Amino acid sequence: MGSVLSYFGGLCGEKKAIEEERFLRANDRPFNLAYKYANNAIKTSKYNIITFLPLNLFEQFRRLANAYFFFLFCLQLIPQVSSLSWFTTAVPLVLVLSITAVKDANDDINRHKNDKQVNNRMVEVLVDGELKKEKWMNVEVGDIVKLGSNEFVTADLLLLSSSEPLNLVYVETAELDGETNLKVKQALTVTGDMGDCIEVLANFKGEVKCEPPNNRLDKFRGNLTVNQQTYSLDNDKVLLRGCTLRNTEWCFGVVIFGGPDTKLMQNSGKTSFKRTSIDHLMNVLVLCIFGFLAFMCTVLSIGNAIWEAHEGSNFTAFLPREPGIDTGLSSFLTFWSYVIVLNTVVPISLYVSVEIIRLGNSFFIDWDRKMYYPKNDTPAQARTTTLNEELGQIKYIFSDKTGTLTQNIMTFNKCTINGKAYGELFDFAGQRVEITEKTEKVDFSWNRLADPKFVFHDHSLMETVREGSPEAQDFFRLLALCHTVMPEEKKEGELYYQAQSPDEGALVTAARNFGFVFRSRTPETITVMEMDRHVNYELLAVLDFNNVRKRMSVIVRNPEGKLTLYCKGADTIIYERLHPSCNKLMEVTSGHLSEYAGDGLRTLVLASKELDERYVDDWMQRHHEAVIAMDGREEKLDELYEEMEKDMMLLGATAVEDKLQDGVPQTIEQLSKADIKIWVLTGDKQETAENIGYSCNMLREEMKEVFVVAANTAEEVEEELRNARRKMCPEAPDKATVIRSRAGLFWLEKTKTVEDEKVDGQYGLIINGHSLAFALEKGMELELLRTACMCQTVICCRVTPLQKAQVVKLVKKYKQAVTLAIGDGANDVSMIKAAHIGVGISGQEGMQAALSSDFSFAQFRYLQRLLLVHGRWSYIRMCKFLQYFFYKNFTFTFVHFWYAFFCGFSAQTVYDEWFITLYNMVYTALPVLGLSLFDQDVNDRWSFQYPQLYVPGQLNMYFSKKAFVQCALHSGYSSLVLFFIPWAAMHDTVRDDGKDVADYQSFALLAQTCLLIVMNTQLCLDTHYWTAVNQFFVWGSLAAYFAITFTMYSNGMFLLFTSAFPFVGTSRNSLNQPNVWLTIFLTSLLCLLPVVAFRFIRIQLRPTINDKVRYKVRREALPAPAPRRPPARRVSTRKSGYAFSHSQGYGDLVTSRKFLLKRVVRPRQVIFAQTDSPLAQNQPQHYRTIAEEPEVTKNVSWEL
């Protein structure tokens, strides 16, 4: 009952008070309950047993069509109005309502099961001074909970203490942002000192004041008051629901937000009811049809009034009027009678058929083996069954990067040392050889500490290192020393690295395999195994990385006392600080870097410098003074770093590949050919996003220019956008032209459209989150939209989840184009829900995006099959279905209209009542479903061969208002032929034995037989792809018609149900006459001949892309799967391929004594870090290597 009251309370405008600030006290339930905060139970279901029937019926009757048919049913219960039996409407209506109700009930039962499973998870809660097991749903705000390793975080918690030194915890946020590399959270010292002492924790009465519930995953602000002391809280102190605790034995936290208030659930948001453009068009067309129906009924009722006035009195002798009914009332009743008779212009079976077609096409997506990912046992899934045809009309794709385009795996690919490049293979002719799975790998078995998963193919590098080349050994020595990686060695020889960025993990692992194994570190020393020799280095200083410096250095002393500076960073930064003697080597290295940049690899340049002991002592003293300085500390440190990092000697450069998912470049190429624009919206740094843009062919060297917008003020952003637009299209007006119009039901929806502007050549645009925030403001959004839409590729980096949704909404608002968003984490949910179609990448990453999406699969490459095959087929099938359905029903109804002029406008039906009832439900239902489920203009291989076949869907070429009018005119012609040819042929006709056959029942049988044969033949003309099912449905429906007709018109049925089956013997008497069959043949010929002629002439004079490809299909063999092409070496004009997903502040942490306190080694789950984090600026992350099966690169080019 409460659900009903709350539902109708919501309808009546009852609103929950908006929370402006959250205030809570730990371990004080009565205090917190007074604020009526939500507990930790979640509810995603819509109904319960009591509310299901009333709410479901209420929702169903809000649909215009259902309400209309219910109104018709009520009309049919009035004897004076009804011209048809009540069951002709009641049976289909009950069927539709029942099917929809069962589907809704099944969906809601699944929601209830999921809710119950989550709400009944157990967690330890501190209650009355002791830990007790409680269900998640019983946890309240202010409760202190204990989490163990590998447990899900129960609610949004303020971290109090943990088992780790410095009160650190490690969490995996895959469910939130799709990233599997670990992130570090740290409790305040004042709470961390409580440890796991239950007595102290039970007496903790800290008070938290913080922001109200919101969906910002990367921000948190609040204060904790303990013993009248106030401490600031930020995102690093909070564990969010959806995270998983890793590598941490235990931690305690106080619940800040529970259940629906958690950031995970806030990001899930309310699911808006998405409808396709065809749905919206159908609503408008149905409204027009209602108007046309009213017009026809008005004409016929006026005709009835005229006929009654002039002719009706002649019939009153044997057809007396009922008392009190005069001409005016008769005309009024006739109007409603014709509303019933002509209601088939909008048959209820239309909506049933549409749902069945969408469901069938959804199953095809679910069952498609070519979209199944065997590694994770993940099939494609159509989570929403109402949007299939929209997949065939996509114009804009908005994609996340991390975990969507990339695999989250970094690999050491190539390097250049002392001017010589390594990592590529060449044949005897000097031609580059493509590296495949079969290519021989370098054997690292000589190195007992090598990582068995590391793969490298260039044997010459190993030979160079083992031969003792000082430059090569110094190169890998630098990689083993200059980093902030933390090692962990559980057993002798089993090394695992934790790195705050996966780039560092990949470089240290490369050094490990080539004989320079980073073994351990203390705050003052680094231990390395150099070619099986144990070497201890004294670590004097870490010159930490930041986004301005774009480099990192260490100063170390080797056992012989030699002091060396090792530095790695961006090429442009390092080159400025090299000794002049390196100029020649720098030129050679720059050439190699250009090649690496052309391959989309992420590069770092390495340099070193020998140092003087006295100079270092002096520098260290000044460094210490700068560190403890109260004022200008950062500036002083920067000066010292600049002083140290100069006149360095160049060692070489590394090239790391941020591995793309299989088939990403080919997929993007195919989608571009289909005139789909792809925008990447990522939280990553600009350099990282730009590198991926080049790797997957979104940004190309042949582009005229790639604009970068990275200004810090609104005026500068606007100026940069305007300058970019003027370069691309100098003649474009300064102000955007916004076309305002109306659309939707009753034309109440106001639309604004900004037309596309033509650009000569291809351009790219990169804009960072700071600039994007200004560009999305009201006065500048049109400038952003115009500039971005002129570009072939747009990459937005450092964007928040909210900004992702804002960009999607901006395009939806002004482009009137169909949009698709694809992502894999909770930070993509708002974007996925904002777009017309949301696609989630499911698998080993987070499932939050997949759960909120309309379609999900495991790999980005499946997107091309979803759109170019399933989407295009679904759109074409739906358009064919609607054209054919309106045609057959308009024709059926217009015959009634013409017959009215011959029956005194009496609302008599031209067909038998049983034919009217079964026409849409039985006789024509299955053939059109066969067409709409199985038809293909060309098969999937030809669809990939010619992506341009996708373009007509974007332009709404197959079904529009124009196509609807053409369909109505075609129906008008066919109905004239179907009525007047049989009428003229039967008029004054006699049988072979001289008896009359021109009675009403014989004419009805002839008209409906002609109609059914013409409809089936028309469907055969529309079918491009015949299957056994189609054949069975077409011939089966005709056979069923004749079988049912002969049965219903038999003597037996007449004797059993005399009033229900009055057409006794009609079929036997009519269908044995040759002139009846001749009439059927001539009628069918006259209906279909103009259609065939028109299509023939159109194909000859104005063939469409489909016509051309289908002609090619008939003349050529099936295209073979595209061969796998090795990636072509591009000559890069890019200055730098630098990209390093590192963040500031980790240098201090690794040199902290507290961080490396001795502790008992516990077994830990090994996690392989697979990506750089969008939030890398906010906290360190961790890189782990594990013994996992390497993924076999699949040859997916057969899909293309």
Res. 499 pLDDT band, cuts 50 70 90? confident
Quote the CA–CA distance of 587 and 828 in Å, as a whole number. 43
Across 591-608, average pLDDT: 86
**Pick the residue with more confidence: 490 or 515?**
515
- Identity at 606, one-letter amino acid code: L
Quote the CA–CA distance of 872 and 665 in Å, as a whole number. 21
Comparing C-alpha atoms, which of 1110, 1117, 1097, 1093 is closest to residue 935? 1110
**398 φ, ψ to 5°?**
-110, 120
Across 706-727, average pLDDT: 90
Query: Can you tell me which residue has the tokens 């217009």?
Result: 894
**Tokens linked to 1109:** 């490809």
Quote the CA–CA distance of 630 and 138 in Å, as a whole number. 49
Indicate the angle between helix axes 349-367 and 872-900, nearest 10 degrees: 160
Q: 1090-1124 pLDDT, tens per residue?
A: 999 999 999 999 999 989 999 888 887 777 665 55
Q: Annotated catalytic residue: which of 400, 451, 503, 571?
A: 400
Q: Which of 193-207, 304-318, 381-395, 782-796 has the lowest mean pLDDT?
A: 304-318
**Pick the residue with more confidence: 828 or 977?**
977
Residue 184 has what pLDDT?
82
Helix (H, G, I), strand (E, B) or coil at 464: helix
- The whole-angstrom distance between residue 227's C-alpha and the CA centroid of its chain comes to 49
> Buried (b) or exposed (e) across 219-237, using 16+ Cβ within 10 A?
ebebebebeeeeeebebbb
Q: Concatenated DSSP letters for 144-194? A: EEEEETTPBP-SEEEEEEESSGGGEEEEE-HHHHS--SEEEEE--HHHHTT
Residues 354, 926 contacting (CB under 8 angstroms): no
1115 CB-contact burial (10 Å; exposed 0-12 / middle 13-18 / buried 19+): exposed
904 CB-contact burial (10 Å; exposed 0-12 / middle 13-18 / buried 19+): middle
Q: Which of 444-453, 967-976, 992-1001 has the lowest mean pLDDT?
A: 992-1001
Residues 525, 537 contacting (CB under 8 angstroms): yes
Res. 1186 pLDDT band, cuts 50 70 90? very low
**Pick the residue with more confidence: 414 or 90?**
414
**pLDDT at 11 exceeding the cut of 50:** no
Largest CA distance in the chain: 131
Helices (H), 866-999: 872-900, 913-918, 925-934, 940-945, 951-954, 961-986
**423 φ, ψ to 5°?**
115, -15
| Angle, CA of 570, 571 and 577, to the nearest 5° | 100
Query: Can you tell me which residue has the tokens 């002969």?
Result: 1046
Sheet order of strands, 182-186 included: 244-246, 168-172, 182-186, 1181-1182
* Residue 725, C-beta contacts closer than 8 angstroms, at least 6 positions apart: 732, 783, 786, 787, 790
Q: 255-293 pLDDT, tens per residue?
A: 999 988 998 888 765 556 677 888 888 878 888 888 899
Quote the CA–CA distance of 307 and 322 in Å, as a whole number. 17
Res. 4 pLDDT band, cuts 50 70 90? very low
**Tokens linked to 181:** 């590399």
* Residue 449, C-beta contacts closer than 8 angstroms, at least 6 positions apart: 493, 495, 512, 517, 519, 529
Residue 1127 has what pLDDT?
53
Q: Which of 262-271, 511-520, 866-875 has the lowest mean pLDDT?
A: 262-271
Quote the CA–CA distance of 380 and 858 in Å, as a whole number. 7
DSSP code, position 920: I
Residue 1150 has what pLDDT?
63
**Tokens linked to 642:** 């600049």
Residue 253 has what pLDDT?
95
Give the rounded percent of residues in the chain with a pLDDT score beyond 70.
Answer: 85
**Tokens linked to 824:** 């894999």
**760 in catalytic set:** no
| Angle, CA of 501, 503 and 505, to the nearest 5° | 75
Helix (H, G, I), strand (E, B) or coil at 683: coil
Residues 528, 516 contacting (CB under 8 angstroms): yes
**Tokens linked to 134:** 């409680």
Task: Give me the chain's average pLDDT, please.
Answer: 83
Residue 9 has what pLDDT?
46
Residue 559 has what pLDDT?
92
Res. 1034 pLDDT band, cuts 50 70 90? very high
Integer distance in angstroms from the first to the last C-alpha of the chain? 55
- The whole-angstrom distance between residue 330's C-alpha and the CA centroid of its chain comes to 58
Res. 1193 pLDDT band, cuts 50 70 90? very low
Residue 877 has what pLDDT?
94
**pLDDT at 179 exceeding the cut of 70:** no
Residue 24 has what pLDDT?
94
**Tokens linked to 933:** 């489920």
165 CB-contact burial (10 Å; exposed 0-12 / middle 13-18 / buried 19+): middle
DSSP-based helix, strand, coil % in the chain, nearest 5: 45, 20, 35
Quote the CA–CA distance of 917 and 86 in Å, as a whole number. 10
- Identity at 151, one-letter amino acid code: E
Q: 751-807 pLDDT, tens per residue?
A: 777 777 788 888 999 998 888 888 888 788 888 998 999 888 999 988 877 788 889
